[in-house]
Amino acid sequence: MRNDAQTVFAPDAFDADTRKAFGHTASCHKHSLAEDPMFTDEGLASLLDRYPREAIGVYSMGDTAGSWRNGTLGDITGAELVEAVKAGKLWLNLRASNKKDAYLDEMNEQIFGELKRAMPGFMPFCKDLGLLISSPGAKVFYHLDVPRVMLFHVRGHKRVWVYPREEPFVHAKDLEAVVAEKTEEEIPYEAALDEGAQVFDLNPGEMLHWPQNGPHRIENGNDLNVSLSIEFMTPLALMRANAVLTNAWLRDKFGYEGGLEARPSLGWLPKAAFARVLRVIEPRHTKPEIIPKTFVVNAGYTA
C-alpha cells in the first residue's frame, strides 16, 4: 500500500498560469515519486520478479534510429536483470503496468486524483502507466505519441528534446500514418531540427509534459534511468486523434490534405463522428511485431 499522507505534487504546484499552460506547452513539474523505495535496486528487482515476464518489452539499440532490436528474457532473476540494464544498452518497457501491479495502480490513481483536484475540468481517461528501466547512454529516437504523455523521472539523468507540433518538425502524412497505425511512432528526423527544440535536462523528481503528438527524443546520461511514462486521453485529445484518423482515410481515398489539426475547430465534430464509423467498418487489428526478436537476456548478459 502507498503512503497516502505523502502527496505526489506540492500543494501550490499548479497555479493559474500553470493550469492554463498544462498540455499546451512543454512544462516541467516537481514531484515526490523519486523518494519511493520501489525505485531502488532492491525495489525494482522485487517488481521484476513478480511481474509477468511475457509483459516486459525488452529492447536494445545503437546510435541510429534503425538500430533498435527486440529481445526476450531468459533465465534471469530480477536482481540480475537490474545489473544487466546497468551494464548494457537495454531498454525495458513494462507497458500498462498499472493493470498488472497493484502498487503501481495505486500510484497511477494518486497522480490523476491530485491532477483532477488541482485542475477542475481536467477529465483524463484511458490512463496507462508504463515503467521504463533503461541503461546508461540508452536512446529513444525521434518520434511522437498519439495520446498525451507525462514523463515522471525518478532515477538517473536524461536529456529530452521537445519539438514544436508543426511543419517541418512533423508532416501531416507522417502524423496520420502513426495515428492510423500504418507505421510505428518514429517519424523522419534531421539534425537541423534541433535548432527549434526545447531541451530539458531531467533530474529525479521532475515530470515533463508536452502537447499531444509533440515530436521528441531522449538520451540517457551515464547512469541507470527509471521513469514512468503515463499516457492518457481527454475528450479533446480523443477528438483530435479521431480527426487525424479521418484525415488519414480521406488522404488514402481522395488525396485530401487535412493538415496537422493543430487547434480545435468545428471540423473536428464530423471527422470524429466519422472515425467512430471507420472503427466499425474498417476495424484495426493488433499490429504484428515489426521488430523481430533477435536476442535473449540471460544472467550475465552484456550488450
126: Cβ–Cβ under 8 A, 6 or more apart, which residues?
147, 231, 232, 233
287: Cβ–Cβ under 8 A, 6 or more apart, which residues?
181
Grid cell 532490436 is found at: 69
pLDDT by residue (tens digit) across 54-92?
999 999 988 887 788 899 999 999 999 999 999 988 999
Do 149 and 156 contact (CB within 8 A), yes or no?
Answer: no
Distance CA 99, CA 104 (A): 8
| Domains in the chain: boundaries | 16-238+284-297
What are the DSSP E strand ranges found in the chain?
A: 27-30, 56-60, 69-73, 90-94, 125-134, 139-143, 148-155, 158-162, 198-202, 206-210, 216-220, 225-233, 293-297
- Mean pLDDT confidence for 28-56: 96
Residue 222 pLDDT more than 80? yes
Architecture per CATH, 16-238+284-297:
Sandwich (2.60)
- Mean pLDDT confidence for 103-132: 96
Residue 189: CB atoms within 10 Å = 16
Least confident of 10-14, 46-50, 102-106, 240-244: 10-14
Residue 301's pLDDT is what? 83
Residue 11's pLDDT is what? 85
Distance CA 129, CA 204 (A): 17
Answer whether the bond into residue 168 is a cis peptide, omega within 30°. Answer: yes
Residue 5's pLDDT is what? 63
**Which one-letter DSSP state was computed for residue 35?**
G
Task: Work out the mean pLDDT of the chain and round it to a whole number.
Answer: 93
- Mean pLDDT confidence for 105-133: 96
pLDDT by residue (tens digit) across 245-261?
999 999 999 999 999 99
The pTM score is 0.94
- Mean pLDDT confidence for 182-195: 94
Which helix H or strand E contains 151, and what residues bound it? strand 148-155
The region, left, alpha or beta by phi > 0 then psi within -120 to 50, assigned to residue 96 is left
